[in-house]
Amino acid sequence: MTSSRQIKALYRALLDQQLTKSRLLLITGFSVLALVLALSIGSQVDTENRTEAIVGFLSVYGLGFMVPILSLLFASTTLGQLVEDETLVYLWLRPNPRWQLALAAWAASATIALPIAVIPLAAAAAIGTSGDGGIVAATALSMGLAAIGYSGLFVLLGLVFRRALLWGLVYIFIWELFVARAGAGAARLSLNTYPHSVLARLTEIELPLAERSMAAGLIVPVVLAAVSVGATAWWLSRAEIA
Amino acid sequence: MTVQGGGLQDGNIEISAEPRAIPIDASVVLRQVSKSFGPLVAVSDIDLVVRPGITAILGPNGAGKSTLLRLICGLAKPTTGTVWVAGGDPRFDDTARGHIGLVPQQDGVFERQSALETVTLAATLSGLANPDTQARRALNTVELDPDLGRPVGTFSKGMRQRVKVAQALVHDPTVLVLDEPLNGLDPRQRQHMIELFRRLGDAGRTVLVSSHVLDEVERFGSHVVVVAKGRLVAEGDFHEIRDLLDTQPHRVRVACGDARALAARLIRSDAVLGCDIVKADTLELTTDDVRVARRLLLSSSRDLDQTLRAITPLDDDLESVFRYLVGRPS
């Protein structure tokens, strides 16, 4: 009971630090662009190829850019900002197990990343496919899985690295967009391949990087998030706090 | 009172011999604690036992005071040695950490929260039953209005400092660690905080306060730990430390009628090591025996038919103690 009260307090405090005007503008910009592009694709591509075109767009724009970048922006600063402005000490010094802070940080990040990943991109899928329920559901699920996984990964990144935003962008643009596409081994180490696989299998449309099974696509992002929370807690217990 | 590790300029020192077991009344114990950052040794081989009451940690900027306090709070891991606070290692023992209240040196606070939200969060995380009530009590203690709704980010430095003190006090810690706690406070608030910390010390809390402002430390209390270049160079009652240093020269300022004539007379005595004429009617003499010098002053002024308007010791304060101990001006 006490634990849940403390996790809730941590979660609310971390969430409160996240939403700033500039970030809300960025979310709005990404979302509006997704809707406009989906509308444009839906109106320009013939009916026969429309689903493939929209899913391809969601794969590149949604899973390739929007979800990882917005997740990075929020998750890497959840604890990273506290390290930067030296306020982590106020949470760290309290008599709470480290996993509580790590879990609250992931939950605060995912609370923002999930709706900003799922809602506009599912809406874009609906607009682009004239309301194809299957595509909309596949989009919502795959984007949600990506947001969950990336949130965990980038909370840890923000805690460990000083310039987490830069390192996160390097990971997204160098590793996920280029290295992971170069070979099967590297692809396994790319988070992006798993939600891609879910999107591809549910929509039955071939996508690059979509080489994992449905089960792996569903399980790995969640497991990655859990492992990241554990690693964040471990790091917190050993880190030196300013 | 102990002076450790070659702190005195002439190397005439008494080495501390604390018992190796943890004293029953100790709140904080450091055993051979060192902390290095790469090649830089920030804290070197410190043995320290802190008991309830106020202990002031004195040292210049860069002496290792903040690192020492971070080690005590578990925020930094000692390179060697052990830290024990209220029954455990604060790095890994949640219960031990729960006994600590820290006012860190850095200015950072949760900018977007109100003072009440910040302190309520601290109370909730400390597991208090009525966090809101406790937070209001703590804010009242530091003379901040709990209902001041605006974000802490808009507060003045002094108000932010009081928020930091309130969050450190809210769970009534047994060990209160204060790193330069009076920064940004106006004189009235400083006095209020000093009285508050003294009350906590008198009530059996262990209050560790660091400062490089000598006047501040002197007002906190007479038990002093002097840190210089990462080493603990002296520990004990401030006046005892000063007494130990009686072999060191003392300086006395004398306001008289004719400083030049008086200086010419004084310098003939073996007890007077030097005389500086500050102004026509003021001189500063250096002596290794204040009593003899004082008698000499009285007799010389009488012989010269001068009136002594004031005799002021210049080094009966922490600055002079510190200067002697670390061998450098502060």
The string of pLDDT tens digits covering residues B136-150 is 999 999 999 999 989
Q: What pLDDT does A201 receive?
A: 95
Contact assignment for B106 to A86 by CB distance below 8 Å:
yes
Q: What pLDDT does B308 receive?
A: 87
- Give the best residue of A24, A94, A234 to mutate against chain B (max B CB count within 10 A): A94
Q: Which residues contact B87 (CB under 8 A, 6 or more apart)?
A: B93, B95, B96, B99
CA atoms of B298 and B296, how far apart (whole Å): 5
Q: What pLDDT does B244 receive?
A: 62
Which residues of chain A neighbour B94 with C-beta distances below 8 Å?
95-97
Which residues of chain A neighbour B40 with C-beta distances below 8 Å?
none
Q: What is the pLDDT of residues A49-64, one digit of tens each?
A: 889 999 999 999 999 9
Interchain CB contact of A4 with B (< 8 Å): no
Exposed (0-12), middle (13-18) or buried (19+): which is B192, by Cβ within 10 Å? middle
Interchain CB contact of A6 with B (< 8 Å): yes
Interchain CB contact of A111 with B (< 8 Å): no
Contact assignment for A90 to B167 by CB distance below 8 Å:
yes
Q: What pLDDT does B15 receive?
A: 36
Name the minimum distance, in Å, from the CA of B13 to any CA of chain A. Answer: 35
**For B196-211, what is the mean pLDDT?**
92
Q: Which residues pair with A51 in a beta bridge?
A: none
**Is the pLDDT confidence value at B10 over 50?**
no
Interchain CB contact of B241 with A (< 8 Å): no
Angle at which helices A21-44 and A67-84 pack, to 10 degrees? Answer: 170
- As given in the structure block, the two tokens for residue A217 are 């696509």
Q: What pLDDT does A86 receive?
A: 93
Q: What pLDDT does B2 receive?
A: 56
- Give the best residue of A4, A93, A240 to mutate against chain B (max B CB count within 10 A): A93
Q: What number is the ipTM of this complex?
A: 0.88
**Is the pLDDT confidence value at B110 over 50?**
yes
- As given in the structure block, the two tokens for residue B286 are 């250096």
Q: What pLDDT does A96 receive?
A: 94
Which residues of chain A neighbour B104 with C-beta distances below 8 Å?
86, 89
What are φ and ψ of residue B144, in 5° steps? -115, 140
Q: What pLDDT does A74 receive?
A: 94
CA A112-A113-A115 angle, to 5 degrees, is 75
**Least CB–CB distance from A95: residue in B76, B97, B112:** B97
In this structure, which long-range contacts are made by residues B74-77, counting pairs with CB atoms below 8 Å and at least 24 apart in sequence? B74/A93, B74/B100, B75/A89, B75/A92, B75/A93, B75/A240, B75/A241, B75/A242, B76/A240, B76/A241, B76/B35, B77/A238, B77/A240
**For B65-92, what is the mean pLDDT?**
94
CA atoms of A48 and A46, how far apart (whole Å): 6
Name the minimum distance, in Å, from the CA of A156 to any CA of chain B. Answer: 19
Q: Are B85 and B72 in contact (CB under 8 A)?
A: yes
Interchain CB contact of A184 with B (< 8 Å): no
Averaged confidence pLDDT in chain B: 85
Averaged confidence pLDDT in chain A: 92
- The list of chain A residues with pLDDT below 70 reads 1-2
Q: What is the pLDDT of residues B211-268, one digit of tens each?
A: 877 667 777 877 889 888 889 988 888 777 666 656 667 888 999 989 999 999 999 8
Pick from A215-224, B84-93, B130-139, B314-323: least confident: B314-323
**Is the pLDDT confidence value at B13 over 60?**
no
Which residues of chain B neighbour A97 with C-beta distances below 8 Å?
94
Contact assignment for A94 to B77 by CB distance below 8 Å:
no
Contact assignment for B100 to A93 by CB distance below 8 Å:
yes
Q: What pLDDT does A179 receive?
A: 86
Query: Measuring CA to CA, how many Å separate B224 from each of A182, A190, B210, B221, B321?
Result: 65, 57, 10, 8, 11
Exposed (0-12), middle (13-18) or buried (19+): which is A152, by Cβ within 10 Å? buried
Q: What pLDDT does A105 receive?
A: 97
**Least CB–CB distance from B121: residue in A9, A89, A241:** A9
What are φ and ψ of residue B243, in 5° steps? -65, -40
Interchain CB contact of B124 with A (< 8 Å): yes
CA atoms of B31 and B48, how far apart (whole Å): 7
**Portion 13-72 of A in contact with B at CB < 8 A:** 13, 16-17
**Portion 153-192 of B in contact with A at CB < 8 A:** 167
Name the minimum distance, in Å, from the CA of B62 to any CA of chain A. Answer: 15
Angle at which helices A98-128 and A47-57 pack, to 10 degrees? Answer: 160
Q: Which residue of A has its CA nearest to B73?
A: A93
Contact assignment for B124 to A6 by CB distance below 8 Å:
yes
Give the predicted TM-score (pTM) of the model.
0.82
Q: What pLDDT does B96 receive?
A: 94
Q: What is the pLDDT of residues A187-202, one digit of tens each?
A: 888 899 999 999 999 9
Q: What pLDDT does B227 receive?
A: 87
Which residues of chain B neighbour A17 with C-beta distances below 8 Å?
110, 112
